[in-house]
Amino acid sequence: MRVGLIVDSACDLPYEFRRKHDLFVLPITATIDHQTYIDEHDPVRTQEFYQSGLLQKGHHAETQAFTAEQIHDLFMERIVSQFDVAICETVTRSRSLIYQNASAAMNTVMAQYREVRDAAGVEGSFSMRVIDSKQIFAGQGLLAAHTLSLLDKGLSKNALRHEVESFTDRIYTCVIPRDLHYIRERARRRGDKSVSALVAFLGRALNITPVIFGQGAEGQPVAKTRSFEVAVEKVINYAIGRVEAGLLTPYVSLSCGLSWPEIEELPGINRLRDACERQGVELLLSQMGITSSIYLGPGSVCLALGAERHHFNDFQ
């Protein structure tokens, strides 16, 4: 039985990891200064965007989910004849229409897939499941890595779905937004009131860099620092402490809206690498994709790991 894992381009993972495991990336449309781009999380295109400055503030940038019809066509062309079972994990439905549109596409695919498989000479039935990851960016990446490890165990389809959906509630995410004003403006245009004007004002006027922590996409400020570097150190210290205390899956996912030289200069990054290596944990370090950079703003950082219930300050 051939099982395929689909993620969308809001999912941040290292390119080599995605290539090694043959992950299919569902694209997202990005519109920057009235120019439309298709974000497939291609590393070359992403690097071009960073170098061009199109992801910097001052440019009008928006993202839009593919329609149900576009996703249907992709699934029919690229998925139904290649796999017998497909799992599609999307960015949290509270932040995007991708889950809704992918679910609608799945329903039409399941009604029409037989003709495509017959034409390709592929025997047997096809099944598909769309799962709301309840995560953003690095959190999506962590869930995808954990799902791949579950696939290696040969679980039944129902058991696999149960394990994946249960694990989504055990992922903890840290976000360091570089520019709260950028975040507030993006949220305002989306109609998202989760970032208050007051917090954005304080961040801009007093140069406060917060650490936002929580399960999945629902986080709260747990630290307010006077510099990005101090915020990064707090998150790295948290991650090292949690790694040493034990994780529920042997991965830490870290995505950064920075150039690679800037990523390598992050305070504590080598200490985190060393801690992961000592504990047999793989650090999934990636450059934040176009979609996640537009959402959080360039220069932002997102870290995710899976663990038992705890608090951020337990590891400071």
CB 179 within 8 A of CB 299: yes
Q: pLDDT (tens digit, 9 = 90+) per residue, 244-274? A: 999 999 999 999 999 899 999 999 999 999 9
Q: Find all residues with CB under 8 Å of 42, minimum gap 6, and list them.
A: none
What pLDDT, on the 0 to 100 scale, is given for residue 37? 85
What pLDDT, on the 0 to 100 scale, is given for residue 30? 87
CB 258 within 8 A of CB 287: yes
What pLDDT, on the 0 to 100 scale, is given for residue 312? 97
* 287, pLDDT greater than 80: yes
* 110, pLDDT greater than 90: yes
* 201, pLDDT greater than 60: no
Strands across the sheet containing 301-306: 218-225, 209-215, 171-176, 301-306, 251-256, 282-287
Q: pLDDT (tens digit, 9 = 90+) per residue, 25-65? A: 999 998 888 888 888 888 888 888 878 776 665 567 788 99
- The residue among 203 and 229 whose pLDDT is bigger is 229
Res. 141 pLDDT band, cuts 50 70 90: very high
C-alpha 221 chain-centroid distance: 20
Residue 283: phi and psi, rounded to 5, are -90, 115
- The residue among 23 and 295 whose pLDDT is bigger is 23
DSSP reduced 3-state for 26: strand
- The residue among 209 and 206 whose pLDDT is bigger is 209
Residue ranges of domains in the chain, CATH in brackets: 3-169 (3.40.50.10170), 170-315 (3.30.1180.10)
pTM higher than 0.75: yes
Q: What does pLDDT average to over the chain?
A: 90
DSSP, res 256: E
* 11, pLDDT greater than 90: yes
Q: What is the mean pLDDT of residues 115-140?
A: 96
CB 302 within 8 A of CB 255: yes
Least confident of 59-63, 124-128, 152-156: 59-63
